[in-house]
Amino acid sequence: MYQTGIELIWACDLSFFLSTYLSFYTIVVYNITMSTDAIKKRRVDGGHHHQGGDSASESTEVDSGVTLAAIMAKMNEMETRNISMQNEMTLLKNENKSLMTRCDSLERSMQILIKERKWEYSAPDIPTSHWIEAGFDQDYIVDMKIYFLDIIQGTTCELRSGRDMRDEWITVGNNDINLILHDDLLLPHWKELANAMQLYRKGKLKLSIVNLQLSTSVIDLLKPVLKNKPLEIIDLQNNSFVHIREGIEFAVEVMESNERMCTFYWTSNTINSMEDARYLVEAVNSHPAINTVRLENCFGNDINGYGILQSLLAGDKNFTYIDLERNNFTQTGGSTAISDYIATNPSLEILRLSDNHLNDDDARLIARALKHNTNLKDVWLCDNNITEVGVKALSKAVYNPESLNSVADCNHTCKVRGIDFGDIPVNLSVSTLKQNRARKIYHLLSLWNREGSNVRHLNLEFGDEEEDTLALVPKVLECVHRYSHECVHQRRHNQVEYLQPLSITYEILRGWKMPELYEPR
Write out pLDDT tens, residues 445-478.
Answer: 888 888 888 888 888 887 655 566 667 777 777 8
Q: Identify the CATH number of the domain in which residue 340 sits.
A: 3.80.10.10
Q: Which domain holds residue 69?
A: 2-116
Cβ distance 203 to 235 under 8 Å? Answer: no
297 with 397, same domain: the answer is yes
Give the pLDDT confidence of 286-297 residue by residue, as tens digits. 999 999 999 999
The total domain count for the chain is: 4
Give the span between the Cα atoms of 360 and 351, in whole angstroms.
18
278 with 355, same domain: the answer is yes
111 with 153, same domain: the answer is no
Least confident of 39-53, 293-307, 395-409, 429-443: 39-53
Residue 407 phi, psi dihedral angles, 5° rounding:
-70, -45
Judge whether residue 358 has pLDDT over 90: yes
* Crossing angle of helices 187-199 and 55-116, rounded to 10°: 130
292 with 423, same domain: the answer is yes
Give the confidence band of 114 by pLDDT, cuts at 50, 70, 90.
low
435 residue type, one letter: Q
| Residue 434 CB-density burial (10 A; 0-12 exposed, 13-18 middle, 19+ buried) | exposed
152 with 194, same domain: the answer is yes
What residues have CB less than 8 Å from 306, skipping those under 6 apart?
A: 329, 330, 332, 335, 337, 356
Give the confidence band of 161 by pLDDT, cuts at 50, 70, 90.
confident
47 with 169, same domain: the answer is no
pTM: 0.75
388 with 466, same domain: the answer is no
413 with 304, same domain: the answer is yes
267 with 407, same domain: the answer is yes
Least confident of 90-94, 111-115, 217-221: 111-115
| Residue 427 CB-density burial (10 A; 0-12 exposed, 13-18 middle, 19+ buried) | buried
Q: Which of 66, 90, 116 is where one domain is finished?
A: 116
Handedness of CA 410, 412, 418, 419 (dihedral sign): positive
How high is the pLDDT of residue 32? 45
Cβ distance 221 to 250 under 8 Å? Answer: no
How high is the pLDDT of residue 18? 41
Instruction: Tell me whether residue 248 is in a domain.
Output: no
Instruction: Tell me whether residue 282 is in a domain.
Output: yes
Judge whether residue 80 has pLDDT over 90: no
